[in-house]
Structure 1
Amino acid sequence: MRMSLEQRLETNNKQDIDLAPLIDVVFILLIFFIVTTVFVKETGVDIEKPKAVSTQSLERNVVLIAITSDRQVVYDGANVGVSGVRSTVSSVMKRKQKPLVIKADKTVSTELLVQVIDQAKLGGAEQINIATSEQ
């Protein structure tokens, strides 16, 4: 049985939405947001920071070293110890000079904190900050 002229015109006039350009735009936006996002390397340990009135926010592009309450010195989730701070900081600072932030637990002794700061300075860190939380 042959289709009538009306049926043939209806099948020819169906309008579909072409999704290819939409998918292209979504992928371009996804790539844009991935490339422009700044990723911050966290230390990987929970620290109870001391409180301070003069707390300020720092830029996102920093090097983070944590000192836990059980005297572990941690960078990027690995325990580097006080002796590994100098080599770690020097390898990071060779690529680009960044501020160093030390996240020390409030129970950490001043002696250990000073040792870490000394090793970081010997490793080439020019700007060293201590992380605190607001009061």
Structure 2
Amino acid sequence: MRIRDDRAHEEPEINLVPLIDVILVLIIFFVITTTFDSRSMLQLQLPSAKGEPVAAQAKTLSVLINADGHYFVDEREVLRTDVDALKQTIEEAADQDRDRPVLLRADARTPHQAVVTAYDALAQAGFRKIQIATAPEAKR
């Protein structure tokens, strides 16, 4: 008995639905995991102090420390919180200009060790003109 095989006459086709599903999942994954500009969300609560405000200089190197102790040097986030990583990022941001003034902006809730680490990294990198940003003292 001879059985007919109709599969030999069918046209092969590529099913695109699974491919489209995979591409949509990849797009959603990349949109969710993309790093956005974290500096726009960074809010610092500066410590208060009495004193006269100083005019900002044009080529000031900015070092920010948020409440969790994470560092930001100009436009760069320092991924590790050790002295060597912070020093390397500061040196990359400043190039060879060690006479450039540094504005240290630390949140009032920042652990003291994070500020000391920033001072240590700046001193090791050769910076001597360091200013601390504060907010005006609240009037009672």
How would you bin the TM-score normalised by the shorter chain?
0.5 to 0.7
Code of the residue aligned with 1:134 in structure 2: it is: P
The number of equivalent residue pairs is: 93
1:88 partnered with 2:89: yes
Point out the more displaced range, 120-129 or 49-58.
Answer: 49-58
Aligned-residue offset at 1:112:
1.4
Aligned partners of 1:65 and 1:75 also within 8 Å: yes
1:108 partnered with 2:110: yes
- Alignment match, 1:132: 134
**Structure 1 53/124 Cα, relative in aligned 2: closer, same or farther at 3 Å?**
same
Mapped partners of 1:47, 1:84: distance in 2: 22
Mapped partners of 2:43, 2:95: distance in 1: 25
- Alignment match, 1:69: 67
**RMSD of equivalent CA atoms:** 2.1
Mapped partners of 1:117, 1:66: distance in 2: 12
Q: Specify the SS of the correspondent of 1:94.
A: coil
- Alignment match, 2:8: none
Aligned partners of 2:61 and 2:74 also within 8 Å: no
Mapped partners of 1:113, 1:74: distance in 2: 12
What is the CA deviation profile of residues 51-81 of structure 1, one whole-angstrom value per residue up to 9, with x for unaligned ones? 1002421432211011001111112343213
Q: Specify the SS of the correspondent of 2:131.
A: strand
**Structure 1 114/121 Cα, relative in aligned 2: closer, same or farther at 3 Å?**
same
What is the CA deviation profile of residues 97-133 of structure 1, one whole-angstrom value per residue up to 9, with x for unaligned ones? 2111111000012121011111111011111111101
Aligned-residue offset at 1:96:
5.8
Mapped partners of 2:95, 2:130: distance in 1: 12
Mapped partners of 1:68, 1:86: distance in 2: 17
Listed as ranges, the gaps of 5+ residues in structure 1 are 1-42
Mapped partners of 1:112, 1:58: distance in 2: 26
What is the CA deviation profile of residues 76-99 of structure 1, one whole-angstrom value per residue up to 9, with x for unaligned ones? 343213432212222305046211
**Structure 1 110/100 Cα, relative in aligned 2: closer, same or farther at 3 Å?**
same
- Alignment match, 2:100: 98
User: What TM-score, normalized to structure 2?
Assistant: 0.58
User: What TM-score, normalized to structure 1?
Assistant: 0.60
| Fraction of identical pairs, as percent | 18
- Alignment match, 1:78: 76
Code of the residue aligned with 1:60 in structure 2: it is: Q
Q: Specify the SS of the correspondent of 1:118.
A: helix
